[in-house]
Structure 1
Amino acid sequence: MHLQEHRLRQAVQGKSILITGASSGIGRDTALLLARYGAQLIIIGRNEERLREVALQTGARMYVMDLREEKNRQQLCQEIEQLDIFINNAGLSIHRSIYDSLERAHDFTRTMGINYFAPVELMLHFIPLLDAAQGQIVNVSTINTKFRPMAKWSAYQASKAAFDTWLRAVAPEVKHTVSTIYLPLVRTPMIAPTKKYERVPAMSSETAAKRIARLLYTKKKEDKPWWLSFIRFVRS
């Protein structure tokens, strides 16, 4: 995928950019890419060893924390006083039959915690900062939010759709750019537990990172696969 490097550098050089879920996969590759163009990164992740490796390679300021914990969200909000771009990437996916979740209510609290409540609470703090900077949020979402509800994906699909709906409702009010990228299956550690994905074609995390980077200079409201409109299971 081709990037207009001059435009990307103009969009991110010297800018304060916060990336959640940056210790691996899409978040990691996005951080590595944007650092090459002069971004001043703040990276969040749960795996200290992996996050530290990213920080060493990018010069990023790092926070090792689980954003499902309210105290961690509050700490982050207290310490972030200026922000140009927020890349909401952290997420949790669960593929499980509802019958296997009957005694696992935490499947739903965990997915809602990171996929919905965490980014909402962060945005309540970040909106004034992004408005002041005439900045941008990029929400890393999934094509699943465009599909009709599917069996065994109730926890994941509902939680991702919740924040997607919230952000689209907020977008007309705020004074900064709101962009969402709807990604197909991406080869990351998050999909590893779902064995059926081992032989399914998937986008690389490097390509996903480039698509995110492109949104930072095009300022488009959304990025989605061109073929999505032709899938008959897309919601009307």
Structure 2
Amino acid sequence: MTITTFANSLTFTKSNFKQDALQGKTILITGASSGIGEALAYQLAHLDVHLILVARRGERLAEMKREMESLSATVSVCRADLRVQEEMDALLAHLSRQQGGVDVFVSNAGHSIHRRLMDSLDRYHDFTRTMAINYFAPVRLVLALIPQLRRNRGQVINVSTINASLIPFPYWAAYQASKSAFDTWFRSAAPEMNAAGIATTSIYFPLVRTPMIEPTAAYRSMPAMSPDRAARIIVNAMLTRRRIYRPWWLVLGAITSVLGRGLWERIAPWFMARRGE
């Protein structure tokens, strides 16, 4: 994606921001090389901010940095697989050397997996790898960044999913457990961070059309939010420091999930058995 192509798709430009609201801020974005993270980086690149972009695809990060050189932001890139201890250590060392520290941490990196339990009997790594990126990595980053965020009265934004509030579905055990784990940890830790002057925001997105959903054939034809729209919601959360964003209908879905749990747990096995699954 080039700057010109991306700019043509933007409806949320610099003039839409509250004057100077983010000026001079250092913003850390994980999972920045594609999907929501990429869209967010390009939108913020039009502002006078310092972007620290983290992802596994170093070549793509370098390309993004080159494309943003003509814009307003200062861009630093860090290639890191957050599941790998040594690479996480290197990232944390880099962040500890940032003058002034991080002001906003957008926890966006994630991994989705859709697989039958019976196909995972000899694939325990499906669960450990998913927990590593969706739960342990953001926990470690938040813990490491708290001193900086406290000093800067900063903000942590968790890019979550509506699935954390809905009844679990078959074939998504690894993904839903890992996302729910960090969602619960984050909500539990939020009051302590808030008391320390750190704003916390949980964003519960519906399906977003990113490369992460491509391996799931059923999702390719389903309605989905665009990454640009998701990025605008995150930027708005930075400006307002709102505590939560979720689609209006998610409350109804959560209530239905609670009330319908018993019925679902009886029907789902019968339906799957009929399909030979």
TM band (smaller chain): over 0.9
Spell out the pairing of 1:74-223 with structure 2 (5 A cutoff).
Answer: 74-81=89-96, 82-174=101-193, 175=196, 176-223=198-245
1:54 corresponds, among 32, 43, 64, to 64
| CA radius of gyration, larger in | 2
Q: Is the 8 A contact 1:140 1:182 kept in 2?
A: yes
Q: Is the 8 A contact 1:97 1:151 kept in 2?
A: yes
Larger RCO (alpha carbons 8 Å, 6+ apart): 1
User: Which sections of structure 1, spanning at least 5 residues, go unmatched?
Assistant: none
Deviations 1:107-141 (A, max 9, x none): 10111000000011111110111010000011100
Number of residue pairs aligned between Structure 1 and Structure 2: 235
Would you say the 8 A contact 1:228–1:234 is kept in 2? no
TM-score with structure 2 setting the length = 0.81
Corresponding residue to 1:24 among 34, 42, 57: 34
1:202 counterpart SS class: coil
Counterpart of 1:5 (choices 16, 35, 38) is: 16
Q: 1:104 to 1:21 in 2, by over 3 A?
A: same
| 1:140 to 1:26, Cα distance in 2 relative to 1, 3 A | same
Gaps of at least 5 residues in structure 2 are 1-10, 69-73, 260-277
1:227 counterpart residue number: 249
Find the counterpart in structure 1 of residue 264 from structure 2.
none
Cα deviation code 1:125-178 (max 9, x no counterpart): 101110100000111000000011211110000000001111111111112000
**CA displacement 1:42-90 (0-9 Å, x = unmatched):** 0001112211122223341001110001111111111213110000000
TM-score (normalizing by structure 1): 0.95
For residue 45 of structure 1, what is the aligned residue in structure 2? 55
- The alpha-carbon deviation at position 28 of structure 1 amounts to 0.4
* CA distance, structure 2, for counterparts of residue 168 and residue 57 of structure 1: 36
1:141 alignment partner, SS class:
strand
* 1:190-225 per-position Cα deviation (integer Å, ceiling 9, x unaligned): 000001111101000000000000000111111000
Check whether the contact 2:202–2:244 (CA below 8 A) recurs between aligned residues. yes
- Quote the offset at 1:227 in angstroms: 1.1
